[in-house]
């Protein structure tokens, strides 16, 4: 299993994959620029959608962008091969899925095993897949939130690193709840990215280690852990 290693230039080098608004991308851009994610360059932002607003955010930050339209490929594997080629030309330590709305092939996931992260808007293992906020409200959950996890071939099922929780409030609708979760995502993802790049968090087999000790349960984002201030 490949673990992230620093590039020859001494800076960390990451690639971010998006499909939409890219507010998580923005938070990672901001936190690399202000040093909360230290010594790190986002070497490329890749989208499967040409009109993803996140591409504008990347261009604004002078980050190279690539669009690889999945509709131009006969199947998932050939699309993923094209993405691997584009991503590997940057030789990143970490590949970060930030609202990338395509299911990835086993080949892709295996290729980046141990250095592929995703953020999912629920307290996994609850509510894998879509409409997480709606489903949490329907189930009258008291707590909801977001999780950052290593990616494995099975959707939203890889080892969970850290979660951010929000209270579900009386009268919350889907939009209000989603907005509060998203605010937490913007604190959660940079925190995990920084800890993984520092190798404070590692993956050994299926187990997440923090400072070399196996995590028995996902970390919970607290003000102490959070890098975004």
Shortest separation between residue 112's beta carbon and ligand GRF, angstroms: 17
Nearer to ligand GRF, 54 or 190 (CB): 54
Shortest separation between residue 10's beta carbon and ligand GRF, angstroms: 29
Q: Which of 146, 85, 86 is nearest to 117 (CA)?
A: 146
Residue whose Cβ sits closest to ligand GRF: 99
Asked if residue 187 has a cis previous peptide bond (ω within 30° of 0), the answer is no
Residues 147/128, Cβ–Cβ less than 8 Å: no
Shortest separation between residue 204's beta carbon and ligand GRF, angstroms: 25
> Which residues of the chain form contacts with ligand GRF (CB under 6 A)?
18, 20-24, 54, 98-99, 119-121, 146, 182, 185
Is residue 12 among the annotated active site residues? no
Provide DSSP, 95-127: EEESS--SPPPHHHHHHTTTSEEEEESSSTTSS
Residues 56/219, Cβ–Cβ less than 8 Å: no
Shortest separation between residue 123's beta carbon and ligand GRF, angstroms: 12
Nearer to ligand GRF, 43 or 122 (CB): 122
Q: Which of 111, 105, 106, 93 is nearest to 197 (CA)?
A: 93
Nearer to ligand GRF, 69 or 75 (CB): 69
Nearer to ligand GRF, 12 or 120 (CB): 120
Check 12, 66, 111, 120 and give the catalytic one: 120
Distances in whole angstroms, Cα of residue 79 to Cα of each of 64, 69, 74, 86: 20, 8, 8, 11
Catalytic residues: 120
């Amino acid at each position: 299993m490949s673990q992230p290693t620093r590039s020859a230039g001494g800076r960390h080098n990451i690639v971010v994959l998006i499909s939409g608004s890219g507010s998580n991308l923005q938070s990672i851009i901001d936190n690399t620029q202000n040093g909360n994610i230290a010594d790190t360059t986002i070497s490329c932002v890749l989208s499967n959608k040409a009109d993803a607003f996140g591409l504008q955010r990347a261009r604004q930050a002078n980050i190279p962008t690539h669009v690889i339209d999945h509709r131009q490929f006969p199947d998932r594997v050939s699309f993923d091969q094209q993405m691997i080629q584009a991503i590997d030309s940057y030789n990143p330590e970490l590949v970060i899925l930030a609202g990338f709305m395509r299911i990835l092939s086993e080949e892709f996931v295996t290729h980046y095993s141990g250095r592929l992260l995703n953020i999912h808007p629920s307290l996994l293992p609850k509510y894998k897949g879509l409409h997480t906020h709606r489903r949490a409200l329907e189930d009258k959950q008291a707590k909801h939130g977001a999780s950052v996890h290593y990616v494995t071939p099975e959707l939203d099922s890889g080892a969970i690193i850290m979660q951010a929780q929000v209270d579900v409030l009386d009268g919350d609708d889907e939009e209000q709840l989603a907005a509060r979760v998203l605010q937490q995502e913007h604190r959660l993802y940079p925190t995990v990215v920084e800890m993984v790049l520092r190798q404070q968090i590692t993956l050994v087999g299926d187990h997440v280690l923090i400072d070399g000790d196996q995590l028995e349960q996902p970390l919970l984002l607290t003000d102490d852990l959070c890098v975004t201030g």
